[in-house]
Structure 1
Amino acid sequence: MTRIIVFPRLLAGRLARCARGAGAQVADRLIRVMTAAVVDRLDLDALVARVDVNRVADRVDVNRVADRVDVDRVVLRVDVDAVIARVDLVVLTRDVLQAIDLGQMVRDTSGGAAEGTVAALRVRSVRADRVVNHFADRLLHRPGADPQGTEGLGSTP
């Protein structure tokens, strides 16, 4: 027959570990059950009503929250047509035109073109006057009239 040698210290350690494991499981289960029972009996609305929301909001780091926001996902949920429908385009257009001063821009850009046009008209007017004067001089046989009819027709003042 074989004899089993039992070491009391070793056996006690094993029993303690087993008891602690079983005790921990029982304690965990007991805590879960009791916590659920306490929460079930609480009036959460009354508890939340006692919370100072402004004090909680003061403690929130808004920049940290904003860093976590997925802007692309937010934008995908936006109804752009509804946003545009709320914009007063007449007021927006008027404000933009005033801000960029479109009238002044038109005056500035067309001013150069208008000045060039006026200068060209003046030159043509002077040329036309010379042609008419020359024609009249020849017709009336005034002295000094160019018999060839070419004096001053191509020159500019």
Structure 2
Amino acid sequence: MKRTLVLVTLLFITYSTRAQEIKRWKMNDLLEYMEKSDSALVINFWATFCGPCIEEIPYFQTIAEKYKDQKVKLLLVSLDFKEYYPQKIAAFAKRFGFTAEIVWLDEEKPDEFCPKIDTAWSGAMPATLFVNKATKYRKFIEAQMKPEEVETAIKNLVEAK
């Protein structure tokens, strides 16, 4: 019995300290994900060097978790430099306790990929896209968000008809 408890504890520690897998996506992968998803999506564009991004991500995680029963998914899209992929992004996410799915956008020309997300996007971060394919709801915010703003935005996403 004691041996089993030790083994279970070791497995838990190993699993809980393992770095998150960071997938490499092109813009077409992101667009396909958005098209195929049957969930309301909160897609946050961030980078490890963006202080406001790091500050707001915990709000998104907490509030998206609150709405998960209403089929809300949070996707964190890293816009970090190529040399940060995947080790530095994964280590950073682990250090800050990011639990949402993270992908790295392997695109080097913001003037080409930004308009595919929103034509008004200048490329500044943080930026967040709220999209629900089922209701055709779409809202893009190019600014840091406060917890109450995140709550309102996700509530609007879920309640859109």
TM-score (norm 2): 0.21
Name the one with the larger helix percent: 1
Tell me which of the two structures has the higher relative contact order, counting C-alpha pairs closer than 8 angstroms and 6 or more residues apart.
2
TM-score (norm 1): 0.21
Larger Rg: 1
